[in-house]
Amino acid sequence: MPGYTREDLKRLQAMSLDDKIEHSISMIEIFYMREHGGCYYSFSGGKDSTVLKSIMEIDYNGSLVKDVPLVFSDTGLEYPEIRKFAMSQENVTVIRPKLNFVEVLQKYGYPIISKHVSNGIENARTTPNGSRARRIRGEYTLRDGSRSQYDLSKWAPLMDLPIKISDRCCKAMKKDPMHIYERATKRHPITGTTAAESLMRTQSWIGRGCNSYSIQKGRAAKSNPLAPWLEQDILHYIKRNDIEICSVYGDLVYTDAGGNELDMALDADQPLKCTGCQRTGCMFCPFGVHLEKGLTRYQRMKITHPRQYEFMLGGGEWTTEGGRQIWQANKRGLGLARVFNMINDIYGKNFIRYE
């Protein structure tokens, strides 16, 4: 049985920003003490990890940050501004993956729609009678016969696409280098991830809470002290404390309930948004792009980072694997234009907007 419930998470997410700060500090202190200082801070250069770094610096006057090293995984997939920002931090340790992104896509496949969907398709292809295949076929139901939130039948047509599909790129590019670092240093990660970012992270929190420790059998020691925070908590913390974040996010502005920018805030609790990138991470990642309103990350990239945009869409080649013709990335580019067109042929021409 899980140690926590969805209601527990909702209760924490409903706390005030000040209470969330205190909660995060408490989680860091407990994790640090339980692991006898054997920790490191997984720093991506994004706004969430920058907020966590700020909390640690403010509360401990920089002493804990000096004791807990910052580790940045230089995957080659970050926005150039993010990479520069992350590597400019004091005493940052830089690690790198064994494979580049083209090699990862060739070996495992393209990440599309979401981690949940990509994982489901890959597993359904290799294990036709497994639970993921049942979800793809729409057979995964609740006891009352209604469809589960894990039902994947909407994405069944993607099974027939002539491309490899997988969610393993993040593991190969980020997690594996971190695990190598952990084994070499005997340190455990403190991260800036939030439970609200995805269903998988919500489920992870329900299973383990903000912290899990090395003495717990079957669990990797890890701290996610920002887990209960919401996007607006992150933005208001940045605004309140005048925190420097990477320039790729643009300016921080107040909005009305419809997301329209305001010249001035009616009160300090008005919603905030970034005028540039809303999220960073891997700049080529398609996860969730079909849900974006207004300019998508790719349409914005076309304007702000045209060289990376062309590499993302261009290139690619047909190859034969297992007696089947498949489309894959090559040194000339990731070939995502063809992948997006295949998906749009199924779900509509504007399903993934990239031009």
- Give the whole-angstrom CA distance, residue 252 versus residue 213: 36
Closest by alpha carbon to 236, among 267, 258, 191, 257? 267
Check residues 236 and 200 and name the one with the higher pLDDT: 236
Residues 6+ apart with CB under 8 A from 101: 75, 76, 77, 169, 173, 284, 329, 334
Task: Tell me the pLDDT of the chain averaged across its residues.
Answer: 91
Given a cut of 50, is residue 127 above it in pLDDT? yes
**H or E, element range at 255:** none
Residues 6+ apart with CB under 8 A from 211: 27, 30, 31, 34, 222, 223, 224, 225
Q: What's residue 294's pLDDT?
A: 87
Q: What's residue 139's pLDDT?
A: 85
The β-bridge partners of 328 are 317
Given a cut of 80, is residue 138 above it in pLDDT? yes
Q: Give percent helix, percent strand, percent coil of the chain, each to the nearest 5.
A: 45, 15, 40
Domains, the chain, with CATH or none? 6-102+170-241 (3.40.50.620), 114-157 (no CATH), 284-355 (no CATH)
Given a cut of 70, is residue 1 above it in pLDDT? no
Quick one: how far is CA 199 from the chain centroid?
Answer: 12
Residues 6+ apart with CB under 8 A from 190: 28, 31, 39, 40, 41, 42, 52, 68, 222, 223, 225
Answer yes or no: pTM beyond 0.75.
yes
Using pLDDT thresholds of 50, 70 and 90, give the confidence band for residue 269: confident
Rg value, the chain, Cα: 21
Given a cut of 50, is residue 157 above it in pLDDT? yes
Rounded (5°) CA angle 267-273-274: 135
Per cent of the chain over pLDDT 70 is 99
Given a cut of 80, is residue 218 above it in pLDDT? no
- Give the whole-angstrom CA distance, residue 125 versus residue 119: 10
Using pLDDT thresholds of 50, 70 and 90, give the confidence band for residue 90: confident
State pLDDT tens for residues 23-62. Answer: 999 999 999 999 999 999 999 999 999 999 999 888 887 7
